[in-house]
């Protein structure tokens, strides 16, 4: 397994991490806990040291799962978690269809961290992200609260998720950011315009989530695929049958390059991301061991400058159809 360092921080992790949300949240019913524990331990055995969760996933049960499954590997693995959603009993985070409200008040951050520490069975959170920027709380107050937690030894590194450049700069001035986590892949390239240059300038690592387009870039989803009503993708504009049909051109491109490289579309999509910057660490999620192995296999795929030029040139001719999120969730990004 290759390792990468997130920006100018001291945080070194496996070059590909594991996004754990789908094990208990958003993509249909929660998966069998024992099977997921086995998968998490298999990931460690294969050299993965970077695991991503959040208190809202479940809510809470995803952190519980990681805390128990990864307990034997304390000190060997890095677990990132997130705060920032209001997951009180009257909100509705399940599947995020109703989009729970945001709450990044300093007192709520402290409360969330205490809960995460208990569930993860750790004394210190390796990487703590604000899950979404809260427009009602100045980012300086958020960064200040996390800075206090770092000084208290409860948190090691600070990150933001889906934040805009102005917010990134303001937060970084109070407490240096180790990483930004946002959606980035061959079908979501918006971070390239402003975000990635700012991260490079400031020395902040980038952790792309949904690097396989929520499964679409694997080539295993087409216009005929049906999603369970509890599957978050059934609410996404980009996953309507019409959008999936239009976006198939991207899969054709990945398949074409993959044939030449003896690699799957998913491996080409991940290899493309890894080739963008040495401080980018994608976190594809999976609940299946053979997919985990397939994703790790992307590290062996070498894309030449000509390959990357071909992908960029061909993909620039493809207009991806459909918004990433329904309007309410879309408004929570890029602030």
Q: Among all residues, which ones are annotated catalytic? A: 57
Single out the residue of 266, 292, 296 nearest to residue 39, CA to CA.
292
Report how far residue 44's alpha carbon sits from residue 76's, in angstroms, rounded to the nearest whole number: 9
How far is the CA of 26 from the CAs of 6, 19, 29, 59, 190, in angstroms?
27, 12, 8, 11, 23
Residue ranges of alpha helices (H) inside the chain are 33-45, 61-69, 106-120, 139-151, 165-174, 195-202, 241-246, 248-261, 265-276, 289-296, 305-315, 327-330
Helix axes 61-69 and 106-120, enclosed angle (nearest 10): 40
Report how far residue 30's alpha carbon sits from residue 62's, in angstroms, rounded to the nearest whole number: 9
Report how far residue 178's alpha carbon sits from residue 157's, in angstroms, rounded to the nearest whole number: 6
Query: Any residues with CB less than 8 A from the CB of 262 and at least 6 apart, and which?
Result: none
Report how far residue 93's alpha carbon sits from residue 97's, in angstroms, rounded to the nearest whole number: 7
């Amino acid at each position: 397994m290759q390792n990468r360092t997130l920006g100018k921080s001291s945080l070194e992790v496996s070059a590909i991490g594991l996004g754990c949300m789908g094990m208990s949240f958003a993509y249909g019913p929660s998966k069998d806990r024992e099977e997921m524990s086995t998968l998490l331990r298999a990931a460690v055995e294969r050299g993965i040291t970077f695991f991503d969760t959040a208190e809202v996933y479940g809510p809470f049960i995803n952190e519980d799962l990681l805390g128990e499954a990864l307990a034997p590997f304390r000190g060997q693995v890095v677990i990132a978690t997130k705060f920032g959603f209001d997951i009180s009993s009257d909100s509705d985070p399940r599947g995020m269809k109703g989009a729970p409200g945001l709450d990044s008040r300093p007192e709520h951050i402290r409360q969330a961290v205490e809960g995460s520490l208990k569930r993860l069975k750790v004394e210190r959170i390796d990487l703590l992200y604000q899950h979404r920027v809260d427009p009602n709380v100045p980012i300086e107050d958020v960064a200040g609260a996390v800075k206090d937690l770092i000084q208290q030894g409860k948190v090691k590194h600070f990150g933001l998720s889906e934040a805009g450049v102005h917010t990134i700069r303001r937060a970084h001035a109070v407490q240096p950011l180790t990483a930004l986590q946002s959606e980035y892949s061959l079908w979501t390239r918006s971070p390239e315009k402003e975000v990635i240059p700012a991260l490079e300038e400031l020395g902040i690592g980038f952790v792309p989530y949904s690097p396989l387009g929520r499964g679409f870039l694997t080539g295993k989803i087409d216009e005929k695929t049906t999603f369970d009503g509890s599957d978050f993708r059934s609410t996404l504009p980009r996953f309507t049958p019409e959008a999936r049909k239009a976006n198939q051109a991207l899969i054709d491109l990945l398949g074409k390059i993959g044939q030449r490289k003896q690699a799957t579309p998913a491996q080409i999509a991940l290899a493309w991301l890894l080739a963008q910057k040495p401080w980018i660490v994608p976190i594809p999620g999976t609940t299946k061991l053979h997919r985990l192995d397939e994703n790790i296999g992307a590290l062996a795929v070498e894309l030449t400058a000509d390959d990357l030029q071909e992908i960029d040139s061909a993909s620039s001719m493809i207009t991806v159809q459909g918004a990433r999120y329904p309007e309410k969730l879309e408004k929570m990004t890029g602030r």
